Amino acid sequence: MALINNIRKKSGLAVGIIAMALLSFMVLGDLLGPNSRLLGGNNNVIGEIAGEEITIQAFDEALQGVKQNYAAQTGQQPGEEEMATLREQTWGQLILKVAYQKEFDRLGIAVSDEELVDMVQGNNIHPVIKQTFVNQQTGQFDRSLVVKYLREDLPKAPAEQQAAWYNFEGNLGPERQLVKYNNLIKLSNYVTTVEANRYQAEQTNTASAKYLFVPFFSISDSSIKVTDTQLQAYLDENKERYKVEESRNIEYISISVRPSGADSATVQQDVANVVQQFSSADNDSLFVKANSDTPFNGNWVNAGALPEKLKGQALEKGKIFGPYNENGSFVIHKVIGVKDGGAASARASHILIKPENETPEAKTAAKSKAEGILAQIKAGADFAQMAAQNGQDGTAASGGDLGYFSEGAMVPPFEKAVFGATSAGLIPNLVETDFGYHIVKVTAPKNTRNYQIATVTRSISSSDATRDEAFRRADELAGTIKNLEDLRSRVVQDKTLARAEAKNIRIADRSVNNLTNARELVRWAFNDKTDVGDVSPVFEIGDQFVVAALSAEIEKGYAKVADIREELTAAVRTREKAKQIIQKLSKLQGPLEQMAPKYGPEAVVRSANGITFASATIEGLGFDPVATGKIFGLKEGARSKPFEGQTGVIVAELIKVDKVNFSGDMSGVKKNIETSRTGRSEGNTYQLIREKADIKDERVKFF
């Protein structure tokens, strides 16, 4: 606290709304000092960072600071969902604090009292302070406001505000240390003129090439037999590509709690009583509020915006419609208002004929076809039948019906034709839009009648008996399934059950596949007492009861063949296909156009222009950095040997490279490269420090 007192004496800093600012990472007070409480017994250790044990007490103390900031920023206390995010923030901040501090100490990066004072009253005011204490008349930062707030308002401030300010004060030093550290990295980046010229060339020089391409899929997967020895060898060669974090795989059966027929009948009986009461209700908004699972909406709507069940109905004030069974709820509508002069709507059907392309010839052909269809309808052909036979959009299946729509919903030419019609019937001329040519039939002309609809919704929920029966079934599974193989066998025996698999579950996950709020299931999977093959108790997750078996434990480090067999098999199979194709192509001679038919119908020859080294995209191949590098590595007129690309084997010939000679100022290019490198280096540094910290995350034991 001596440092804080020193700052106060020199600057007179205030508490207040600065607590609203969430900074780059949260100060943890004296938790990591000589009297640190981060070292405790193993029974309350939540994890380990860079050799320092983090206790649950230390974590909770840090979490309180994060919660205070959240409450100050949002004006409310966090719920359970928000708490999960705040715990992650706290853990990340602890990593920053502990792991980075070791780097700060190693490099001798420190922040003096004078620097801290300078951040609040000197020449380098902290941005948060500068933005907060602003004179309303001048619009500028005013130190006197800071002094006044501390001397007059701090003693009267609530304890939460004071705690938030102390938190902010304490963070000034660590934050400045991080800035210094990142600046060391930033200033280590230097871009030479040669690098800038090369970068510019990679962006602007374009290559034209010709290539022979044989896709991997030309060889069937079934013809390539992959052995475990090959898989292991490939993994050993490429192990850096297969680094993994600690994770778990599970297989599980879920029993959904779905409302039974009896549940639906019970709700329906109750809804029948609601219908009677709704029809005679004097205050419809209050009735909806008291009886509906959804709130009252008194907005006026036109025919195009009515609930689907009401479209085309004769709507009169006071009339009841329903109940309808919609998406697991019973819905009742009541017309509580009818007026004219509101937003317009109309209804129409159409037959769309699209040109095959944008050429005048294609447009003429489409127009001619549309005119022929229009003539048949005028002569008596059924519009809906002609739409089904000729329509070229999604309305064809419904006879061209577009339903009701509001004014402003359609493209202008179409809307003008429909809303300009004074009566229902076929519009005598074609309507041309950007989509093509339309034959239009107005089925309900422009109408400005609007309606006010009150809606009561009653969800069809599961009864206690239904939920109990689902639990009983899940509990029976948990009691009789002894291991993973039992779980798999049970699904084979009982066709009403389905087995799901979830891979690479991380220790901090809260969801498993589509199972949200599945934290307890994750905690079970990571429990030290849970072994591969073990079966879980019943977990209630939302509207499902889940029984799971642990199928794999993946430890942090390098993946094993068993963990990524499918991925490795695909990679090895591709490599073996490439070998076969390369071997066959290597025996062929002559121009590419002659090599292709000699190889077989799978080989094609294509040309590609405008290839840049930076984009690594080639016409006909897509993104393929290997092929791009090979092409730019050739001399004009030279041909590469067959090589493995992203999607097949390629033989490339460079036709020419068009070079752009750039002799202007390269400072802007250098700046772009430096900015890009700085962003990457800071991110890479953070990942490297995390890796060196050898983090052991055991939070799953506590929450």
Average pLDDT over residues 105-118: 90
Our measurement of the distance from residue 656's CA atom to the centroid of its chain's CA atoms, rounded to an integer in Å, reads 42
For residues 506 and 556, is the Cβ–Cβ distance under 8 A? no
What number is the average pLDDT over the span 256-273? 91
Q: Output the pLDDT for position 18.
A: 33
Half-sphere exposure of 451 (CA within 13 A, CB side): 25
481 or 43, greater pLDDT: 481
What 3-state DSSP class applies to 229? Answer: helix
Whether the pLDDT of residue 39 is over 70: the answer is: no
End-to-end Cα, the chain, rounded Å: 32
**Domain residue limits, the chain:** 2-187, 206-242+564-658, 247-258+463-555, 259-461
Strand partners, 549: 251, 535
pLDDT confidence band for 60 (50 / 70 / 90): very high
Mean pLDDT of 510-519: 93
Say which residues have a Cβ less than 8 Å from residue 375's Cβ, sequence separation at least 6.
none
Task: Kindly indicate the confidence band of residue 32, based on its pLDDT and cuts at 50, 70 and 90.
Answer: very low
Letter for the amino acid at 551? Answer: S
Model confidence pLDDT, tens digit, residues 377-421: 999 999 999 999 999 999 999 999 998 898 888 999 999 999 999
Q: Which residue has the higher pLDDT, 149 or 524?
A: 524
CA–CA distance, 289 with 635 (Å, rounded to integer): 78
Residue 462 carries which DSSP code?
Answer: P
Task: Over range 166-187, report the average pLDDT.
Answer: 86
Residue 1 has pLDDT above 50, yes or no: no
Q: What is the DSSP string of 476-519?
A: HHHHH--SHHHHHHHHHH-TT--EEEEEEEETT---BTTB-S-H
Specify whether the CB–CB gap between 249 and 551 falls below 8 A.
yes
Radius of gyration of the chain (CA): 35
pLDDT, position 217: 94
Mean predicted confidence (pLDDT) in 641-661: 95
Chain centroid to CA 571: how far? 27
CATH code for 206-242+564-658? 3.10.50
Measured distance CA(375)–CA(83) in Å, rounded: 67
Which of 34, 18, 24 minimizes the C-alpha distance to 176? 24
**How many other CB atoms are found less than 10 A from the CB of residue 254?**
23
What confidence score (pLDDT) does residue 7 get? 36
H/E stretch holding 143 reads helix 143-148
3 pLDDT above the threshold of 50: no
pLDDT band for 271, please (50, 70, 90 cuts): very high
CA dihedral sign of residues 60, 64, 69, 72? positive
CA distance 315 to 449: 10
Q: What is the mean pLDDT of residues 85-107?
A: 89
Q: What's the CA gap between 520 and 541, in Å, rounded?
A: 9
The pLDDT value recorded for residue 118 is 86
Give the pLDDT mean for 607-619.
94
The string of DSSP codes covering 525-594 is: HH-TT--TT-B---EEETTEEEEEEEEEEE-SEE--TTTSHHHHHHHHHHHHHHHHHHHHHTT--S-HHH
Q: Which position has the token pair 């941005």?
A: 127
Q: Which one is predicted more confidently, 1 or 47?
A: 47
> Can you tell me the mean pLDDT for 81-91?
89
Please indicate whether the domains covering 247-258+463-555 and 259-461 agree at the CATH topology level. Answer: yes
Does position 688 have pLDDT exceeding 50, yes or no? Answer: yes
Say what percent of the chain tops pLDDT 70.
94
Please check whether residue 288 is in contact with residue 453, taking contact to mean a CB–CB distance below 8 angstroms. Answer: no
Q: What is the mean pLDDT of residues 182-211?
A: 90
pLDDT at 185: 85
Q: Give the pLDDT confidence score for residue 593 in this predicted structure.
A: 95
CA dist 648 and 576 (Å) reads: 12
**Does domain 259-461 bear CATH number 3.40.50.300?**
no
- Number of Cα atoms under 13 Å in the Cβ half of residue 40: 16
CB atoms inside a 10 Å sphere around CB 122: 14
Contacts of 275 (CB under 8 A, 6+ apart): 320, 322, 323, 332
Percent of the chain past pLDDT 90, that is, above it, reads 62
> What's the pLDDT score for residue 35?
33
Query: Which among 700, 698, 699, 696 has a CA at the least distance from the CA of 52?
Result: 696
The confidence score (pLDDT) of residue 522 equals: 96
The Cα–Cα gap between 226 and 497 comes to 33
For the chain, the average pLDDT equals 88
Task: Write the pLDDT tens digit of every residue in 297-311.
Answer: 989 999 888 998 998
Pull the structure tokens for residue 603: 């080989």
Count Cβ atoms within 10 A of the Cβ of residue 515 and give its class: 0-12 exposed, 13-18 middle, 19 or more buried.
buried
pLDDT at 190: 86
For the stretch 311-363, pLDDT in tens is 888 999 999 999 999 988 999 999 999 999 998 999 999 999 999 888 888 89
From residue 337, give the alpha-carbon distance in Å to each of 61, 291, 296, 471, 563.
58, 20, 14, 47, 64
Residues 6+ apart with CB under 8 A from 570: none
pTM: 0.65
C-alpha angle 543/544/548, rounded to 5°?
A: 155
pLDDT score at 473: 95
Q: Which CATH class is domain 247-258+463-555?
A: alpha beta
Provide the pLDDT for residue 42: 54
Distance between CA atoms of 402 and 394, rounded to whole angstroms?
10
The residue whose two tokens read 């962006």 is: 203
Query: 262, 279, 267, 275: which is closest to 322 by C-alpha?
Result: 275
CA–CA distance, 5 with 166 (Å, rounded to integer): 11
* Contact present, 481 and 487 (Cβ < 8 Å): yes
* Residue (of 302, 341, 342, 298) closest to 453 by Cα position: 298
- The mean per-residue pLDDT over the stretch 101-110 comes to 91
